[in-house]
Structure 1
């Protein structure tokens, strides 16, 4: 059985939870004062007033007074300078908890992305090995769609390679600049260019803030630059920053 806490310690924890902005020394002082009055003798109205007068400005966070509206032609009135907040152990623990929660959410997101990517690779592999399943995957409309099982299988493989590169960037395995270099080389293959043109309608509905939409915008610009370039392809373009989209 855990040892029973003292009354002073219980009150101290209660005050620390209720007033996280207050410094630890003020919390300790107020806890002792509370225990002396409320737990060791019968408190009076005078005790309550004295406690409020002593600790109200020290426990509650400081708030700026409302700005006074200056009269026409008079200098703007200023309130007192704000008091610097002390960094208490309670605020430190809260900040650490928030940091751990953010880290956990990011880790969970990365794991979910990787798991979803693995499932998509498994489905694409099955489609590549089964022509009947390959027919269920959108790879273009009309004359833009692959007309033979062999070309459909090639498109599916291009799709798998493309999605793997997007996933590698989205999970932090490769930086944005490296993704640009890989995509520039990837687009030198004529099958890749055919696939990209054929599947353009599919990407039109992507959420603007999704990883694939950001990569797709970069590739669209890169394809245009490669078609208009007169120099060697490996010198074409500079990787645009992610914020440029």
Structure 2
């Protein structure tokens, strides 16, 4: 079995030394013959292969070597690592993309749960009372309006966090929402909640941006509210 695995590895990496082929074959067999392979196993074998590539790049040329041969060999090895071993090699950019996708998936699940809970509160005044953490006393009708305003705000904030809209687009949506007096009331009544957020969080950042936008709108000497203010850079 060891010889067969070595021959298989050799067919992919013919420029590797016999010792290198033996080490990689042993690493693969050690995993595949005894247990279910894990991501850590794949990364370990990946490091074994890239280690041989780096060794080839560092190895000095001998008089028998053709000019540029070692660099050419290393280049071919890198190409084979990338093109022929997709199950072992995980480019860093691909790993970062997967992390971003995982974060977005978690955000989507969290948003789905939040909207489900909020929907139940909007349908049931007794549940809505549990959501009432505003800075003022309100009746059932106004409480439901505040909760709906919160849902509107959470929706555009969520879209920005998922990169479905730009910060400039988020700014434009908020500027329009602030033309509604009930949304303004909700924003003022929820000020205490925002004050408790970590200063570096996305929601705290957007909260500060919205507060500044309110100030700009109140101080503007024009009726063309849609041109007031400027969105911060991304």
Q: TM-score by structure 1 length?
A: 0.65
Partner of 1:171: 162
**Contact 2:20 2:52 (8 Å CA) reproduced:** no
* 1:139 positional shift: 3.7
* Aligned: 1:4 with 2:5: yes
Corresponding position of 1:235: 227
Structure of larger gyration radius: 1
- The answer on 1:224 being equivalent to 2:232 is no
Equivalence for 1:119: 113
Aligned length: 184
Structure 1 residue ranges without an equivalent (≥5)? 31-85
The alignment's C-alpha RMSD in Å is 3.2
Of 78, 89, 98, 2:78 maps to 89
Describe the SS at the equivalent of 1:5: helix
C-alpha distance in 1 between matches for 2:5 and 2:52: 24
Cα deviation for residue 25 of structure 1 reads: 8.9
| Cα pair 1:127 1:133 within 8 Å, conserved | yes
State the distance in 2 between where 1:130 and 1:10 align: 73
SS at match of 2:130: coil
Partner Cα distance (2:139, 2:205) in 1: 31
Q: How does 1:20-35 map to 2 (within 5 A)?
A: 21-23=54-56, 26=59
- Unaligned residue ranges in structure 2 (runs of 5+): 11-15, 24-47, 63-73, 83-87
Deviation per CA, 1:195-218, whole angstroms, max 9, x where unpaired? 000100101121223221111111
Q: Label 1:129 to 1:18 Cα distance change in 2 as closer, same or farther (>3 A).
A: same
Aligned partner of residue 91 in structure 2, secondary structure: helix
Rate the CA distance shift 1:16–1:25 in 2: closer, same or farther, 3 A: farther
For 1:220 and 1:180, locate their aligned partners in 2 and report how far apart those are by CA, in whole Å.
11
Change (3 A) 1:148 1:21: same
Once the two structures are superposed, residues 73-121 of structure 1 have per-residue CA deviations (whole angstroms, 9 ceiling, x without a partner) of xxxxxxxxxxxxx87729x759853222111110000011011011101
Question: SS of the counterpart of 1:188?
Answer: coil
Aligned residue in 2 for 1:187: 178
| TM-fit CA distance, 1:24 | 5.4
1:139/1:195 contact within 8 Å kept:
no
More helix by share: 2
Asked if 1:135 is matched to 2:129, the reply is yes
Cα contact 2:132–2:143 (8 A) shared by 1 = no
When residues 188 and 9 of structure 1 are mapped into structure 2, their CA distance, relative to the original with a 3 A threshold, is same
What is the match of residue 193 of structure 2?
A: 202
The answer to whether the Cα contact below 8 Å between 1:121 and 1:160 also exists between their aligned partners in 2 is yes
Cα displacement string for residues 116-169 of structure 1 (whole angstroms, at most 9, x for unaligned residues): 01110111110011111111113412xx24x21000000000001100110000
